[in-house]
Amino acid sequence: MNALMRAFIALNVWVYRLSGGRLMGKMGAAPILLLTTTGRKSGRTRTVPLLYLDDAGSLVLVASLAGAPKHPAWYLNIEAHPRVEVQVRGRRFAGMTRRASAEEKASLWPRLLALYPQYGEYQRRTTRDIPVVIVTAAALAAEERAL
């Protein structure tokens, strides 16, 4: 990622946090959250703004990287460290991530395309299967493991 893109992302994160998501909290009709991951190599925290779909309390993310041939760094980070921090507008919470199954992706993909039609173009642009990620609040994920 080039320096200009990193600076834009840092500015977006700063404005989002400062305004509680009132500014930089949407792209068109699509809502944006902040996802903080732990670097798989560095161990440092990294925060990125991402579009999301609210699916009955779970948050659904798309690791598209605009159809690039490689997965985005945030996705590689969550593969190594699935525990994340999420900020949705003014609310911050710990979350657990997992890749959606093929069946879940098939069910979610039409809704994701309705939210942000460019995802379809991104998938056509690449030969990789673009991952769909499901984020649940960490407390809910812990309760599910206990069941």
Span 3-42, pLDDT tens digits: 888 898 999 999 999 999 999 899 888 999 999 999 999 9
Looking at the DSSP bridge assignments, the partners of residue 133 are 61, 99
Q: Which of 2.30.110.10, 2.60.120.10, 3.60.15.10, 2.150.10.10 is the CATH number of 3-139?
A: 2.30.110.10
pTM of this prediction? 0.89
